[in-house]
Amino acid sequence: MRSRGYVDIGAPSWGRARPPTGSYGPDASRYVRTGEGDLIDICEVNSDDRYAQGPYTCLACGHLMVPALGRTRKHHFKHKAGRPADCHNETYLHQLAKMTLFSVLSEAIRTGQPYWLTRDRPVVCSYYEEAFGFSCTAKRVPYGTDLTTMFDQVAVEAGVDGFIADILLSSSKSDARMLLEIAVTHPCDETKISSGLPIIEIDIQNEDAANRLRDGIDTGFRCTRCHNLPNPDTAPHLCKTPCSANGLALLLYKSGKVWYSELGVGTRDEEQILSDPHLIAHAIVDIRLGYPTRSWKMVRDHLGAFLVQQAFEHGRTIRSCLVCRNNGGQVNKHDAYCMAKDRKVWMSSSAIGCTDYDPAGDRDEAIHVLGSLGGS
């Protein structure tokens, strides 16, 4: 006799459509090995014939497992006689990842379906190439390699050059090889890495991480590392909106003034500076992405080389404290000590109308005076 309030709903609908969403128990595995030695997910087990692909055994310890398809906890496999002390989760995850990789790679090779190794490769933008000889490699894009086009053989725990690979990919048509190494608690051995063998090392910390291997290997995840693999070829590209670049503009004016300005390449700032009607020569050097910090020594070296070139190669008139014999050294970023005036003066423009201006007589002397400025 049925108790009051009981309604006969037949076989529970969640058993047919979707399992309950509660938590796992302490002895719970999503995957086991079937009687045929294949990997099976608890989601693939039919509640009406739950032992059809059994007997099921644990990936870690090899003991018998049974499907638990109850109403409260998530469906899972558990040890029939209780979990033994020597059954460890790290062994389970290691075996799970190896079996997953072997299964999906074997199937991909057999059916001709791609299995992708995704890596980042640099994009080389030549936007600044023609004008400044400068290419940008700041951007990277995902690049996929179908491993089945390189390898047609896959083996578990195979020997190679004195090492044992978790998964070994090889080719019957060439000497190409690749090792897929699973790291749960122990990273890949340094001796194996230093052998020069191409290795992809994959950290696996849970079942979801192992399950993602069905979709390919993505080295964009921090849990995946490549050892001894050649870098992917760069991808040529021309950005419509290029990265911001900053250059050091070296400027010579009709007055003989020589100075510098840091400017954004291709900006209105650059256009205004270079369109000055009093400017007779210029050079833009040290072009870099972003907004770099340049030391005075770097600026001085570029400015000095430009000044010497303009004065002694092109014969242009230079009036600059930087090459004056009365320059007693740098005081700060903008000032130098003038020995003739016994005080500090503006390095950029004080020499223009100076009656004490005494420039270096030749290239070597100019380089010597520039070198005595000091500063960092």
Q: Where are the domains of the chain?
A: 13-86, 116-236, 245-371
Contact 250, 267 (CB under 8 A): no
Task: Say which range, 21-30, 63-72, 276-285, has the weakest mean pLDDT.
Answer: 21-30
pLDDT at 3 over 60: no
Summarize the confidence of residues 122-147 as an average pLDDT.
79
Q: What burial letters (b/e) apply to 129-165, b meaning 16+ CB within 10 Å?
A: eeeeebebeeeeeebebebbebbeebebebebeebeb
- The count of C-alpha atoms lying within 13 angstroms of the C-alpha of 279, restricted to the half-sphere facing its C-beta, is 16
Tokens of 5: 């309030």
Residue 125 three-state SS: strand
pLDDT at 97 over 90: yes
Tokens of 282: 């210029």
Peptide bond into 84 cis (omega under 30): no
Is residue 305 very low, low, confident or very high in pLDDT (cuts 50, 70, 90)? very high
Query: Pairing mode, if any, of strands 258-264 and 245-253?
Result: antiparallel
Residue 246 three-state SS: strand
Alpha helices by DSSP H, 44-180: 89-111, 129-132
Task: Say which range, 161-170, 171-180, 239-248, has the weakest mean pLDDT.
Answer: 239-248
User: What local confidence, expressed as pLDDT, does residue 268 receive?
Assistant: 85
User: What local confidence, expressed as pLDDT, does residue 8 receive?
Assistant: 34
Contact 323, 316 (CB under 8 A): no
State pLDDT tens for residues 51-76: 998 899 999 999 999 999 888 778 99
pLDDT at 23 over 60: no
Closest CA to 80 of 61, 67, 71: 67
Residue 168 three-state SS: strand
Q: Residue 315: what residue type? A: G
User: What local confidence, expressed as pLDDT, does residue 12 receive?
Assistant: 36
According to DSSP, residue 323 is labeled G
User: What local confidence, expressed as pLDDT, does residue 19 receive?
Assistant: 45
pTM: 0.62
